[in-house]
Structure 1
């Protein structure tokens, strides 16, 4: 989601044009009258002064009316957003700070620990190298950023608080070098990696460090944020004179120059990406490993970095992955290093040795359609856009599913490709796990796993359950490894055991079969159910036989679907223009499928059905014709129903019709069109304005600057593999939300880590849909149960940032869409009870996600049973977002605060009927919040309105006083002028009377 930008400002000024003209005219008229009566008109001072006064009084009244129209018109939403926010209670702060540490305790993952390098002895002294140690990654940028009002626990402070002694001389070197972190913003990004060169370390400095401690820690940091993906080729970013690099990103455009560090050398060669070590960092690692024999590397970032280099140095004994920690989470890093906390994190993504070997490598980013320039749009502040595309060629083989299956088929050497598998993580102790035989009852697969701590330190671990389904060559695509369930143990003391109960639906092992009409099918055969230490290494395996095929249809729907899942996205796969990776014949088409696209033209079939702002009116006209005659819905009825009366009632309760009949066209248009950061007020039905704010690691009100404590990133939450921590995350958000008078949370985000280069991976959970879905739905359930609504986002396929506003056609096949990309959203509806959705900027196939009937109606509502409302992502228009198109296809509200194309002006019966249903979803989510739980909420007048009313009262009194004074003075002046005129007349009469007679008549001749 985007924040306020220059387009907003321009649009806001444009929306006030009429009122600003009135103000200008009023001022001009007053000035003209003032000048005219002075120089060219009246000689009477009384009338002159009166016209002066009344022209300015009239101008002031006109200006007051115009300003009132602005305040209660174009500026109304913005002003309301700037009021009505609470503050965090001490209890909420304490809970959030404690939770942040607890999440980070279990989210940090130990990747290497040779020679028992860790934990460190109590009170150990350590040298902490790397500029990132002085300015670590707390979160990301954009909507997921931290609120700067609250203090942060730094990485160094976290180590010191754990009793470790750090080399302050080294830390000072880094803070003196640079104090601020380069900004990775939404419009432009500074991708520089500040790091003093190896040559800058003097012999004296290295001697001091070696005398200080024999232990060295090297911290490497990588940032990410909304609006741009991480550069895959750092040689194609612009270099600034100071030596730092910036990618000038107008959501797709970039300058190309070499990146130079300090003007001495290229830090990156062609083809080297942001997730590889820079030359300066390589030199630092060489410097440290040549001076210290016991080195720990800490990688601080949400994007799975290429860490293959750590194996090149025998001195690197231990490696930790520390994803973004939030505002207080770095306290846990010191505790882990010092052994006060035993690490139990597991990787939420696969760490690979060579990105070029990944199935996604040649197909991330975007390609412009060469034959679509006639659909070019003006993205305003973000530049010009041509319709573009990206191909999800790997199909279902995302992340570990590709590497595990390709290795099993002999298509790659696993150890050469993968460094740290998905679900991998070490501990300071060891565990054994044994599983009982699985049983099936009422469609549930169940068994027990006994976990025993076989080591010498207390700790936790995860129980990871995978299945390997039967596969027929050339049949339905299937991965050899599929996470199906997981649990986290309690903290076990040495020798202690715990029996963990595992249960999942047998239908969770079904695959989506696109043949025919499509549907889920559980094929007959042997399913290997295993408990694993990670996606690649099995601990124990059992065989579960499915005797006969199960097809999930209308009489037996899949996982509680309201209607049977069938093909709805046939036009999203490119209709033959994309070759998808297939397991057939041992991935025989691997090279062909994963190659970069060569066809950059959209087929005539898709071009004819493509919709953006250039042809949306024709599309809507055709849509109305296709719907036929529709009865005009009732509006403005007097049924005396108040919204609070619908609290807890079913979405289809008959009372809703009576309430909806009361809404006027204007009320619905305002509610739908201006839903940015708020759920608008409708006083006639007792609907109060409600506040919706950014997430996902915090609650951030961009207008009042009020916000919550920032929790660790979603990637960190996923790396805990602890459902309870995700639930506690949701509870903390809800508690802070109530403190801040918030009802809507723009989170959690649950798109897939398709590539480690995606800019918003810190906001998303994992490369795996089940891990993502469990964590997301756990957070959502707690938020919803507490009386708020959580916007699961971005629905769907917003798995990259580059060119997301450029009408980005995201092509994927229906099996991958359902099994990978929609799965977390499905779980969030069915298990989390979500009543709010944020749609995505991109196109799903050939249709904008915010107006995609198949996505928003056929699947979300009809199939999954969703009740609530769908909000667009930030509504800037951008040449393709249209409010009317959205509501015709399942959208409900526009995330807008100013006028763009978010206003609905068509008053046809068809459109009003869609507006009514859109309002229904918005109001359903709104009423089922804590605001209405105890009856009719108190209607509060915003602070700005109190100020306005007070100002109007004062100005009115002043105007009345000015009018009275002007009239009084006029009467005095008029009387004086009249008296003076009378005196002058009398004098004239007397003068005339005293004149000689001969002067009165001509002399006789």
Structure 2
């Protein structure tokens, strides 16, 4: 057993304090002001606040599941307001709701305990806790007696979600409950200053908030981590300025989203998901099909106003450059403004969305009257669309209108790029043959959203002509199968020899047996799950980390293990643990990363001699969606840097984050872990996060879930039927951007199938596209239990699981968390030494990067 990297000091560390202060400073950038009639920020005259809502004390710092973080403490909403020197006058009402929640939780825990008793298996209870997590009950109705005199009222609506289960378009989830609507209406009529705060990780229905007279402000406070109450109070009182903008379209009605009635379990079929909307996802759909949203993609108000003017647009080669002047026209508050550049491509043989985001920039904090000129740049080759018939990205002839604006619903045409003839920007090969016929959405009879003067803008737009030789066609090269390496030397090669230059990696790989490499390509949870191991907490060297790679060759080959820990809202570890005199973990004195009812039934140990306690509290940063809402890559890189610091301190090599699946539908239970509905935003955010983490020696990210993990119900066995064009333009594009911009150390595959083939076993996805086309150099690993072994549901599935042997053949290097069955499958299924060497090489290169 190695030396524990955790601290023996129980007191809050200087690192914890510094990191919470950092989050406090940048988290407000991700809060989005949806409505404001001047109510916010509350003035100095506000000394008393009436605080209500299910999130007032029971706020959500982040989502459930592996994306949760075990921080030392969480600053609640009420606590944050009180610490700011404001009196909260609604304590008795909040106490009453506390009692309701305590009773409700007791009943839920009793249900879990009964499951443990009846089955004798704590893991069954764990899966129930995981798939059907506890949710606080509906809020009680506010009475006249509850509404004490106050200078302002705040109502906090909280919603949580998590992996393993999708949300529902029902009251208490996507919709408001009747009690919530009644309470908001009463408070709006009682208090002159009334704020509704949305402590949510995704979209909810906002019609009632916009229709009730007297709601002075609506703030999407999101889920900001363990200092959420402090950040909220800062924004409420004007100490910090909310400068966030939405990264997903908020519709007027749930039924306005494409495929609203077939997503996940909405049609009763969780086995097959048909991506019939094709490329028309998010604002691409709303704009093209004339669906006016409640709040557009990129929308966000400020405490001040800005004047945005495009001063120049130029074309140099294939680079489009727009100069945009932004001025704070207010006279009281500072602020930051977002500017977006969209392009409208001409229709030809391929249908195009009305507009697509191609660049964005955010100002520095501008004081009243201050002005800044932003430079937005985009390459014309990125305007191309994927043509399945020619297996190429093509620019069709015509005018490509450049639009500048604050959000997707507020743009102006500022220039046009004239393309004289069809240009092939990239020649590829089709890799994702559809396994069923799709009824793809067509815009043939659609009426797009428009605005007065749009056609006049197009007619008068400055035309910039693209030179015929400005773009050189890129032709992808696909590598042949690996060739077996041999080394018959009697002198044993170690990884230290490779590092020192005494031998090559080929020399080492040539000596390794199939058995050694199969072991290296499978994680260390050899006995499967159960016993004193919990899903996602299988590391032997960093308690609470998700797992390790093999260390069986540590002694004779110097191949040390890699430690992998969950994310993406911070580092997920056991907050404290204890070891006996033999340096072995004491289960009954160690916190489990998944603190679920029934854990008391985990095996106990005999405590030997003196006990040593360790502490590894980590910082809960804002959820990924909130980080994306900053539209500030420097902030996101700083968040990654913060996590990388904690990884380096605690001995974690690979962070199983960031999550970057497309927010295809607002009901996805894991949307809070993902950045955006737009692949450019998702890719740029993931790249910034990766750059922050990988500043630290021995630390890397694991972008996930590759690919099409866009639903949680039956996530391990669902088949995503999706066109090649939609895959390349929407669902894979963010991953491509992240790989090209930041070269993360690893990628995690998703559970689901893509067109009938498991992502974990998909050679075309993992090798042909990711490695050959994009140039990815790192390790590809499976999600936990992809090859089976953790399934607790007693039913037949239409689609089964992937297998470890085909993982190796497809270029999925590491099967996690691993089992003896996975190793045996690799050895029995005829996987060649050359195939194993290719995977082992990438794992060893990662070990060299992280451990030497």
TM-score of the superposition, structure 2-length normalised? 0.80
Distance in 2 of aligned mates of 1:908 and 1:634: 21
What residue in structure 2 maps to residue 435 of structure 1? 310
Q: Cα RMSD between the aligned structures?
A: 2.9
Q: Could you tell me whether the CA contact under 8 Å between 1:275 and 1:305 is conserved in 2? A: yes
What residue in structure 2 maps to residue 220 of structure 1? 157
What residue in structure 1 maps to residue 113 of structure 2? none
Q: Could you tell me whether the CA contact under 8 Å between 1:110 and 1:321 is conserved in 2? A: yes
* Shift, 1:305, TM fit: 0.6
Alignment of 1:489-638 (within 5 A): 489-516=363-390, 518-538=391-411, 541-553=414-426, 564-571=427-434, 574-576=435-437, 578-586=438-446, 633-634=485-486, 638=490
What residue in structure 1 maps to residue 58 of structure 2? 135
**Residue deviations 1:90-145 (CA, integer Å, cap 9, x gap):** 34323321232233211111000024453333543211111221110101111101
Alignment of 1:176-575 (within 5 A): 176-179=99-102, 187-190=130-133, 192-198=135-141, 201-206=142-147, 209=148, 211=149, 213-232=150-169, 234=170, 268=171, 274-365=173-264, 388-407=271-290, 412=291, 414=292, 418-472=293-347, 475-516=349-390, 518-538=391-411, 541-553=414-426, 564-571=427-434, 574-575=435-436
Distance in 2 of aligned mates of 1:685 and 1:181: 55
Distance in 1 of aligned mates of 2:325 and 2:701: 36
Matched, 1:671 2:592: no
Task: Provide the secondary structure at the position in 2 that maps to 1:667.
Answer: helix
* Shift, 1:898, TM fit: 3.7
Task: Provide the secondary structure at the position in 1 that maps to 2:58.
Answer: coil
What residue in structure 2 maps to residue 66 of structure 1? none
Distance in 1 of aligned mates of 2:152 and 2:364: 32
Gaps of 5+ in 1: 1-78, 235-267, 371-386, 554-563, 589-626, 933-1005
Q: Sort the Cα spacing of 1:419 and 1:181 in 2 relative to 1 into closer, same or farther, 3 A.
A: farther
Distance in 2 of aligned mates of 1:696 and 1:860: 22
Task: Provide the secondary structure at the position in 1 that maps to 2:209.
Answer: helix
* Shift, 1:774, TM fit: 0.7
Distance in 2 of aligned mates of 1:647 and 1:543: 54
What residue in structure 1 maps to residue 538 of structure 2? none
Q: Could you tell me whether the CA contact under 8 Å between 2:361 and 2:374 is conserved in 1? A: yes
Distance in 1 of aligned mates of 2:836 and 2:51: 59
* Shift, 1:736, TM fit: 0.6
* Shift, 1:195, TM fit: 3.6
Q: Could you tell me whether the CA contact under 8 Å between 1:792 and 1:838 is conserved in 2? A: yes
Distance in 2 of aligned mates of 1:637 and 1:119: 76
Q: Could you tell me whether the CA contact under 8 Å between 2:259 and 2:277 is conserved in 1? A: yes
Equivalent residue in structure 2 for 1:785, among 686, 692, 695: 695
What residue in structure 1 maps to residue 98 of structure 2? 175
Alignment of 1:931-942 (within 5 A): 931-932=851-852
Equivalent residue in structure 1 for 2:840, among 919, 928, 932: 919
Task: Provide the secondary structure at the position in 1 that maps to 2:216.
Answer: strand
**Residue deviations 1:769-820 (CA, integer Å, cap 9, x gap):** 11111111111122223231211100000011000122x1101111111111
Task: Provide the secondary structure at the position in 2 that maps to 1:779.
Answer: helix
Q: Sort the Cα spacing of 1:504 and 1:92 in 2 relative to 1 into closer, same or farther, 3 A.
A: farther
Q: Sort the Cα spacing of 1:719 and 1:368 in 2 relative to 1 into closer, same or farther, 3 A.
A: closer
Q: Sort the Cα spacing of 1:367 and 1:838 in 2 relative to 1 into closer, same or farther, 3 A.
A: same
Q: Could you tell me whether the CA contact under 8 Å between 1:451 and 1:498 is conserved in 2? A: yes
Q: Sort the Cα spacing of 1:470 and 1:486 in 2 relative to 1 into closer, same or farther, 3 A.
A: closer
Q: Could you tell me whether the CA contact under 8 Å between 2:39 and 2:194 is conserved in 1? A: no
Instruction: Report which of the two structures shows the higher radius of gyration computed on alpha carbons.
Output: 1
Q: Could you tell me whether the CA contact under 8 Å between 1:851 and 1:885 is conserved in 2? A: yes
Distance in 2 of aligned mates of 1:585 and 1:155: 49
* Shift, 1:84, TM fit: 5.7
What residue in structure 1 maps to residue 78 of structure 2? 156
Q: Sort the Cα spacing of 1:636 and 1:698 in 2 relative to 1 into closer, same or farther, 3 A.
A: farther
Q: Could you tell me whether the CA contact under 8 Å between 1:752 and 1:765 is conserved in 2? A: yes
Distance in 2 of aligned mates of 1:163 and 1:566: 63
Count of residue correspondences: 725
Equivalent residue in structure 2 for 1:659, among 480, 504, 508: 508
**Residue deviations 1:277-310 (CA, integer Å, cap 9, x gap):** 1122222223323433432111111111111111
Task: Provide the secondary structure at the position in 1 that maps to 2:368.
Answer: coil
Matched, 1:848 2:758: yes
Distance in 1 of aligned mates of 2:296 and 2:134: 28
Matched, 1:147 2:147: no
* Shift, 1:646, TM fit: 4.9
What residue in structure 2 maps to residue 895 of structure 1? 816
What residue in structure 2 maps to residue 688 of structure 1? 560
TM-score of the superposition, structure 1-length normalised? 0.68
Q: Sort the Cα spacing of 1:680 and 1:458 in 2 relative to 1 into closer, same or farther, 3 A.
A: farther
Higher helix fraction (1 or 2): 1
Alignment of 1:786-825 (within 5 A): 786-787=696-697, 788-806=699-717, 808-825=718-735
Task: Provide the secondary structure at the position in 2 that maps to 1:916.
Answer: helix
**Residue deviations 1:869-909 (CA, integer Å, cap 9, x gap):** 11100126335221001111111111124434454452687
Distance in 1 of aligned mates of 2:373 and 2:308: 9
Equivalent residue in structure 2 for 1:643, among 495, 499, 502: 495
What residue in structure 1 maps to residue 43 of structure 2? 120
Q: Sort the Cα spacing of 1:119 and 1:203 in 2 relative to 1 into closer, same or farther, 3 A.
A: closer
Q: Sort the Cα spacing of 1:405 and 1:843 in 2 relative to 1 into closer, same or farther, 3 A.
A: same
Task: Provide the secondary structure at the position in 1 that maps to 2:163.
Answer: coil
What residue in structure 2 maps to residue 725 of structure 1? 635
Q: Sort the Cα spacing of 1:631 and 1:153 in 2 relative to 1 into closer, same or farther, 3 A.
A: closer
Q: Sort the Cα spacing of 1:360 and 1:464 in 2 relative to 1 into closer, same or farther, 3 A.
A: farther
Q: Could you tell me whether the CA contact under 8 Å between 2:359 and 2:377 is conserved in 1? A: yes
Task: Provide the secondary structure at the position in 1 that maps to 2:842.
Answer: helix
Q: Could you tell me whether the CA contact under 8 Å between 2:31 and 2:222 is conserved in 1? A: yes
Matched, 1:101 2:15: no
Q: Sort the Cα spacing of 1:908 and 1:343 in 2 relative to 1 into closer, same or farther, 3 A.
A: closer
* Shift, 1:842, TM fit: 0.1
Q: Could you tell me whether the CA contact under 8 Å between 2:252 and 2:294 is conserved in 1? A: yes
Task: Provide the secondary structure at the position in 2 that maps to 1:472.
Answer: coil
Q: Could you tell me whether the CA contact under 8 Å between 1:532 and 1:540 is conserved in 2? A: no
Matched, 1:869 2:779: yes
Distance in 2 of aligned mates of 1:421 and 1:648: 56
Q: Could you tell me whether the CA contact under 8 Å between 1:95 and 1:732 is conserved in 2? A: no
What residue in structure 1 maps to residue 670 of structure 2? 760
Q: Sort the Cα spacing of 1:867 and 1:450 in 2 relative to 1 into closer, same or farther, 3 A.
A: same
Distance in 1 of aligned mates of 2:314 and 2:499: 42
Q: Sort the Cα spacing of 1:874 and 1:635 in 2 relative to 1 into closer, same or farther, 3 A.
A: farther
What residue in structure 2 maps to residue 561 of structure 1? none
* Shift, 1:336, TM fit: 1.0
Q: Could you tell me whether the CA contact under 8 Å between 1:462 and 1:721 is conserved in 2? A: no
Task: Provide the secondary structure at the position in 1 that maps to 2:673.
Answer: coil
Task: Provide the secondary structure at the position in 1 that maps to 2:715.
Answer: coil
Q: Could you tell me whether the CA contact under 8 Å between 1:224 and 1:759 is conserved in 2? A: yes
Task: Provide the secondary structure at the position in 2 that maps to 1:296.
Answer: strand
Task: Provide the secondary structure at the position in 1 that maps to 2:847.
Answer: helix
**Residue deviations 1:922-966 (CA, integer Å, cap 9, x gap):** 11122112x31xxxxxxxxxxxxxxxxxxxxxxxxxxxxxxxxxx
Distance in 2 of aligned mates of 1:432 and 1:459: 14
